[in-house]
Chains A and B, each alone.
Chain A
Amino acid sequence: MNSAVTHRGGKLERFSYDDQIVRLFIIATVIWGVVAMLLGVTIAFQLADWHVNFGLKWLTFGRLRPLHTNAAIFAFCGNAIFAGIYYSHQRLLKARLFNDMLSKIHFWGWQLIIVLAAVTLPFGITTGKEYAELEWPIDILITVIWVVFAVNFFGTIIRRRERHIYVAIWFYIATIITVAVLHIINSLEIPVSMTKSYSIYAGVQDALVQWWYGHNAVAFFLTTPFLGLMYYFVPKAANRPVYSYRLSIIHFWSLVFIYIWAGPHHLLYTTLPEWVQTLGMVFSLALWMPSWGGMINGLLTLRGVWDKVRTDPVLKFMALALTFYGMSTFEGPLLSIKSVSAIAHFTDWIPGHVHSGTIGWNYLLITAILYYMVPRLWNSKIYSLRLANIQFWTATIGLVLYIVSMWVAGITQSLMWRAMDASGKLVYPNFIETVIKIVPMYWVRAIGGTLVLTSLIIMVYNLYKTAKTGSISSEPVLEAYALDDSSVEHGASAHRKLEGWPMIFAVLSLLAILVGSAIEIVPAVLSKSFIVKMDVVKPYTPLELIGRDIYIREGCYLCHSQTVRPMAHEVLRYGKASEAAEFVYDHPFQWGSKRTGPDLARVGQKYPNMWHYRHMYDPREVTAGSIMPNYKWLFTDKADYQSIMKKMNVMKTLGVPYTQEEIAGSFAAAKAQAEIIKDDLVAAGVPAAILDKEIIPLIAYLQRIGVDYGKSEAQQ
C-alpha cells in the first residue's frame, strides 16, 4: 500500500486506518435514510389527502416537514458525508484520524442531535426558520460537535504523510469552515425558555440571513462535500486519472467564491432591497459553469471506461448522480432569473427542483459510495448486482415521476394564479380552484416518492447481505514515510505550493466565502437606510404574540407565505404589495417559501373571527375541497399565557419598543383581548369555555397580520 510514496529520506512509520468509525457512520446513514424518506413519503401523501395525519397533531404536515428536511439533510446526507470523508481523508493523507475518542464523540454526538430533532420537531418545538428549525440548546450542541469534527479533521491533516492535499480535501475544508460560519450566524437567537427562542434578526434582515444560510446549506452541505467525495470515489472506482487538474482549481475557487452570494435569489420580488436581489440573481447565473466544472471533471474522468459504467454499480450510480447534478445546477440558475422566479417561486416547481438535487445527486451519490465502501470494509463483495440494478431503475423512475409531476403542478398553478381577463379581474379568484386542479399531481409525486423509498430499502437489504457474507478483519498495518522537507516540490506552481500549506488554504477558503457574505449581509444589519420606517406599523399585542408562537409551532409558514409581491395579479388576489417596514417586529420573519395555501400577508380583518374559528376546526366547512389539515386540538388545548411577560421582555431586548408598563400589564392585556374575541364568537353560538383555548390567540394574530399598513390610507 505504501508504493505510492517515493522515498525521499523521511522516517518509515507504521500506522493503521480507523475504519470502525466509518462502519458506524455507514450504518447510521442507511438507518436515517430510511427514516428520512419514510417521512418524506408520509408528507407527500398528506398533500394528496389530508387525512393521512390521522388527526394526530404531531403527525401534521407543518410539524413533520421540518423533521423530513432535517432528517434527509443532516441525518442521511450528514452521516454519509462523515463516513465518506473519514474513509477518504485518512487514505488521501496516509494517516489515521487524529483522535479515536474525538471520532466517537463526533459519531454519538451527531446521533444525539438527530434524536433530539426527532423528539422536538413533532412537538412543535421549532425556531420557525426553514432548514434551521432546531431550538437553541440543539444549535449549541451542533456547534460543539462540528468543532469536534473540525479538530479531528484538521488534526489528521497536521499528522499527514502526504505533502499536498488532493482536491477532495479542498472541498472538505470549504465545507467545514463555511457550515460553521453559516450555522452560527443564522442561529443567533435569544432564549425565552429551554424550548423557545426568538431570532435576533427581524423581517427583511432575518429573511436575508436565513436564505444566505438556507441556500448555502445546499451549497456547503449538499454540494461541496459531495463533490469532494466524487473526486475520491470516481477515480478510485474507475481506475482512471482525474480529467483536469486545472479545471479542479478553477471550478473549486469559483464555486466557493460565487456560491455564497446566491442566497437572495430565494427572495426575488420581496421587500429585500433590489440591489441585493440583483446580486443574488447575477451570481446565480455566474454559478452555472463552476457547478458544471465538477460534473465535467467527473464524467470525463470516465473517458474510456464507459463499458464499466454499464456493469459496475458504483460507476453507474455515480454517472447518474453527476447527470442529475448537472441538471439541477442548470435549473437553479434558470430559476434565479427574476422573470422565471416570478412564475416558479411559491409553486411546486421548487420542491421538484430541490428533490432533483437531493434524490438525484445526493441519494444516488451516497448509493455509489456505499457500494464502494461496504464490500471493502466488510471484506465481501456486493451481494447482488441484480438488486443494485433494480434499485437503479426504481430510483430513476420514481425521481422522474417526482420531478415531472412537480413541473406540471407548479407551472399549471402559477399560470392559474396569474390569469387575468380583459376587465382586469383574476380568472381564478378562488385559490382553492388552483389547488384542486393539481391534487392529481400530488398523487403522482407521492407514488414517485414511494418508488424512491423502495429503491433505498432494496439497497439497505443488499448492503446488509453484503456485510453479512463478509467479515471485519483487524485493521491492516500500513507503512509510509513521515513528512519531511524532501517532499517539497521545487519550482512548483503557486497553487501547487498552496496545496502543501493546508492551513493557509483553509484561511483563503474562509476569506473567499466571507467576501460575498459581508457585502450582502453587513449593510442589512448595520445600515439604518436598509429599511424605510413606517409609523403606522406597531408591535404585536401580547395576545397576538402568543398567537404568533402557535402559528410558528404549527409550521403554518411551510404552506402559507406572508409577503405580497409587487405584481398586479398578487395585488388583486391578496391586497397591497408588502413593504419592508411591515416586518420590523417579526422575530423570526414568516414569509415562507411555498404557497400550498394562499398568502396570508393581508389576511388580517379579511374574514370575521367566526370564519377563522370554523376554518381551523375543519377547513372544509368554509372552503370546499381544501387540503389543509384540521387543527382540532387548538379548541381543547389551553393557551400559554404564563410566559408572555418573559416573551415581551426578550422582544424588548431585541429592540421591539414595548414600554415597561406594557410588559408589566401584558398578562392582563392578553386576557382582556381574549375576552373580546370570545364575546364575538359566543354571539355566533360558540360556548364561552373557548376563552382560554389556543384558538383565541391564534385568531387574534391572524386578524392582525398585515393590517397596520394594509388597512391604512397609505397608497402603494
Chain B
Amino acid sequence: MKEETKLHVQEDEKHLLLDHNYDGIQELNHPLPSWWAFLFYAFIGYAVIHFVYFQFLGGPSLRDEFKKEYAVVVAAQEEFKKQEGEFNPETYAKFNTPEHIKKGEEVYVTNCVACHLEKGRGDIGPNLTDEYWLWAKGTPETVYPIVFNGVVDNGMPNWSEVLSKEEIYQVVAYVQTLHLTHQPQGKAPQGNKVE
C-alpha cells in the first residue's frame, strides 16, 4: 500500500523538532506539561509524608483502628443482650400473630432450614415437631434463650449476633406452630420427652 510520508509539523512547534529519526519517526521536545510535573512531584512528596507519618510518627495502624471500631460494636451488642436477653411474655404476645408468624417463617427459611429442614423435621439439628427436646421444653420462654444464645456444643449458633429482636420473637412464634405437628420423614427423636 502507498505510504503517506509527509510529516505533519505545526508552525508553533517547528523549533522543538529534534534531530532524531527512527524509521521516519521524529521527536519534538515539548517541556513537561506544568500540571503533570506538579502532580508528579506532589504525589512523590505525599508518598514520603504519608509513609513517615504512619510508620515512624505514630500514625494509627490498621489494627489500632480496628480495635477502636470493634469496641464500639461489642458495646452495642452487650447493650442489646442486656436489654433483650431475657424472654419477655408481653413482647412475645405482640409477635404471636399470624402476620408476624408469616415473617417468622421467612426468617426460618433463610436461617434455620440448613440444619432443621423445612417445617422443622430436623436433620443436622433436631426435629422440632415431636415432643422430645434436647435443651428447651417446647415453650416459647424455653426456646427463646436457645435461639438467642445458641448451644455451643451442638453447633447451634448464637442468633442474637445475627437476628434482630423482632426476628427472634417472630421465629420463636413460628417454631411454636410446628410443635407436635409430627412432620413426615422427620428425624428420630432426641433428648427428653416433654409431656
Are B26 and A305 in touch, CB under 8 angstroms? no
- The reply on B111 being an interface residue by CB < 8 A is yes
CB of B43 within 8 A of CB of A425, answer no
Residues on A with C-beta less than 8 A from B184 are none
**Nearest chain A CB to B83 CB, angstrom units:** 9
The distance in angstroms between the C-alpha atoms of A338 and B50, with both chains bound, is 12
The 8 A CB mask of B151-195 against A (1 = contact, 0 = none) is 000010000111111000000000000000000000000000000
Q: 11 interchain pairs (CB within 8 A)?
A: A164-B22, A241-B25, A274-B62, A285-B46, A380-B1, A423-B80, A425-B162, A568-B69, A568-B72, A608-B115, A608-B124
B34 at the interface (CB under 8 A from A): no
A504 interface residue (CB < 8 Å to B)? no
Contact (Cβ within 8 A) A92 B5: no
By a CB distance below 8 angstroms, the chain B residues around A285 are 43, 46-47
Cβ A244 vs Cβ B30 within 8 A: yes
Q: Which of B1-54 contact A (CB under 8 A)?
A: 1, 4-10, 13, 17-18, 20-33, 36, 39-40, 43-44, 46-48, 50-51, 54
**8 Å CB contact of A572 from B8, B73, B113:** B73
Taking a contact as CB atoms closer than 8 A, the residue among A289, A608, A684 that contacts B40 in the complex is A289
Beta-carbon contact of A164 and B20 below 8 Å: yes
Docked Cα-Cα span, A288 to B115, in Å, equals: 51
Closest chain A CB from B191 CB (angstroms): 17
Query: In the complex, given contacts A94-B23, A304-B8, what are 19 additional A-B residue pairs having Cβ atoms less than 8 angstroms apart?
Result: A162-B22, A238-B8, A240-B9, A241-B9, A243-B30, A244-B31, A247-B33, A247-B36, A254-B40, A274-B54, A274-B63, A282-B50, A283-B47, A375-B1, A424-B72, A430-B111, A568-B70, A568-B73, A624-B109
Does the CB pair A239–B6 fall under 8 Å? yes
User: Are A381 and B54 in contact, CB atoms less than 8 angstroms apart?
Assistant: no
Give the Cβ gap from A299 to chain B, nearest Cβ, in Å.
11
B134 to chain A, nearest CB (A): 15
A286 touches B25 (CB 8 A): no
On whether the beta carbons of A288 and B33 are closer than 8 Å, the reply is no
Find out whether the CB atom of A279 lies under 8 angstroms from the CB atom of B51.
Answer: yes
Does A158 touch B at the CB level, under 8 Å? no
Given known pairs A245-B28, A375-B1, the reply for A288 and B43 (CB within 8 Å) is yes
Sorting the interface of chain A by its residue count into under 10, 10 to 19, 20 to 34 or 35 or more gives 35 or more
Report B55-84 CB contacts with A as 1/0, cut-off 8 Å.
Answer: 100000111001001101111110110000
> Do A92 and B23 touch (CB < 8 A)?
yes
Cα of A569 to Cα of B50 in the assembled complex, Å: 27
Residues of chain A lying within 8 A (CB to CB) of residue B23: 4, 88, 91-92, 94, 232, 236
A423 B43 Cβ-Cβ under 8 A: no
Chain A contacts of B62 at CB under 8 A?
A: 269, 274, 277, 338, 566
List residues of chain B with CB within 8 A of the CB of A22: none
Q: How many Å lie between the Cα of A202 and that of B52 in the bound state?
A: 29
A296 nearest CB across to chain B (Å): 6
C-alpha spacing A568/B163, complex, angstroms:
17
Q: Which residues of A contact B69 (CB under 8 A)?
A: 567-568
Q: Mask for A90-131, Cβ within 8 A of B = 1, else 0?
A: 011010000000000000000000000000000000000000
The CA-CA distance from A258 to B45 in the complex, in Å, is: 14
Among A94, A162, A235, chain B packs the most CB atoms within 10 A around the CB of: A235
Residues of chain A contacted by B50 (CB below 8 angstroms): 278, 281-282
- B51 in contact with A250 (CB, 8 Å): no
Interface residues of A in 231-260 (CB under 8 A from B): 232, 235-236, 238-248, 250, 254
Closest 10 CB pairs of A and B: A424-B76, A282-B47, A566-B66, A423-B80, A424-B77, A289-B40, A244-B30, A241-B26, A166-B22, A429-B162
Give chain B residues whose Cβ lies under 8 Å from the Cβ of A375.
Answer: 1
Q: How many residues of chain B get a CB closer than 8 Å to chain A's CBs?
A: 66
Nearest-Cβ distance from residue A425 to partner chain B, whole angstroms? 6
Establish whether residues A425 and B28, one from each chain, have CB atoms under 8 Å apart when the complex forms.
Answer: no
Residue numbers in A under 8 Å from B30 (CB-CB): 243-244, 246-247, 300
Given A282-B46, A282-B47: A425 in contact with B164 (beta carbons within 8 A): yes
Tell whether, in the assembled complex, residue A241 and residue B28 are in contact, meaning their CB atoms are under 8 Å apart: yes
8 Å CB contact of B36 from A94, A248, A292, A305: A292
A-to-B contact residues, CB < 8 Å: 4, 88, 91-92, 94, 162, 164, 166, 232, 235-236, 238-248, 250, 254, 269, 274-275, 277-279, 281-283, 285-286, 288-290, 292-293, 296, 300, 303-305, 338, 375-376, 379-381, 420-426, 429-430, 433, 566-568, 571-572, 577, 607-608, 610-611, 622-624, 684
B72 contacts across to A, CB distance below 8 A = 424, 568
- Chain A nearest CB from B57 CB (Å) reads 12
What's the nearest-Cβ distance from chain A to residue B123, in Å? 8
- A423–B47 Cα distance when bound, in Å, is 39
| Contacts A92-B23, A246-B32, A607-B155 given; does A376 touch B40 at CB 8 Å | no
Contacts of A246 in B (CB 8 A): 29-32
Q: Which residue of the partner chain A has the closest CB to B80?
A: A423
Nearest A-chain residue to B49, judged by Cβ? A282
Interface centre among B23, B40, B69, B155 (most CB of A within 10 A): B23
Asked whether, in the complex, the Cβ of B1 is within 8 Å of the Cβ of A571, the reply is no
CA distance A424 to B77 in the complex (A): 5
Complex Cα gap A651–B127 (Å): 45
CB distance from B126 to the nearest CB of A (A): 13
**Which of chain A's residues have a CB closer than 8 A to the CB of B55?**
274-275, 278
Contacts of A300 in B (CB 8 A): 30
Tell me which residues across on chain B come within 8 A of A281, comparing CB atoms: 50
User: Does the CB pair B70–A282 fall under 8 Å?
Assistant: no
B residues in contact with A164, CB < 8 Å: 20, 22
Residues on B with C-beta less than 8 A from A245 are 18, 20, 27-29
A624 CA to B184 CA, complexed, in Å: 22
| Complex-state Cα separation, A94 to B4, whole angstroms | 20
> Which residues on the A side are within 8 Å of B162 (C-beta)?
425-426, 429
Q: Looking across the interface, which residue of chain B has its beta carbon closest to that of A420?
A: B73
A501 and B39 CA atoms in complex are apart in Å by 32
- A226 shortest CB reach to chain B, Å: 17
Q: A239-B5, A244-B30, A566-B66 are in contact. Are A304 and B76 (CB under 8 A)?
A: no
- How close is A393's CB to chain B, nearest CB, in angstroms? 25
Q: When the two chains form their complex, are residues B54 and A240 in contact, meaning their CB atoms are under 8 A apart?
A: no
Least CB distance, B143 to chain A, in whole angstroms = 20
Residues on the A chain within 8 Å of B36, using CB: 247, 289, 292-293, 296
Chain B window 105-138, contacts with chain A (Cβ cutoff 8 Å), 1 for yes, 0 for no: 0000111011100000001100000000000000
Assuming the contacts A254-B40, A278-B55, A610-B124, asked whether A239 and B4 have C-beta atoms less than 8 A apart, the reply is yes
On chain B, the residues within 8 Å of A430 by CB distance are 110-111
Q: How far is the CB of A233 from chain B (nearest CB, A)?
A: 10
The CA-CA distance from A389 to B124 in the complex, in Å, is: 60
Complex: how many Å from CA A572 to CA B48?
35
Chain B residues lying within 8 Å of A423, measured Cβ to Cβ, are 76-77, 79-80, 164-165
Point out which of B17, B29, B31, B62 has the most chain A C-beta atoms below 10 A from its C-beta.
B62
Q: Which of A242, A281, A607 has the most CB of B within 10 A?
A: A242
**Bound complex: CA A250 to CA B47 (Å):** 18
Nearest opposing residue in chain B for A470, CB measure:
B1
Closest to A611 in B: B124
B22: nearest chain-A partner, CB-CB:
A166
Check if B8 sits within 8 Å of A240, measured CB to CB: yes
Report chain B residues within 8 Å CB of A566: 62-63, 66
Question: Which residues does chain B contribute within 8 Å of A269, judged by CB atoms?
Answer: 62
- Which residues from chain B contact A568 at a C-beta distance below 8 Å? 66, 69-70, 72-73
Which residues of A lie under 8 Å from residue B25 when comparing CB positions? 92, 166, 232, 235-236, 241-242
CA distance A524 to B5 in the complex (A): 54
Closest-by-CB residue of A relative to B46 is A285
Most buried by B among A4, A423, A430: A423
The reply to whether A424 and B80 contact each other, CB–CB distance below 8 Å, is yes
CA distance A421 to B79 in the complex (A): 13
Which of chain B's residues has its CB closest to A289's CB?
B40
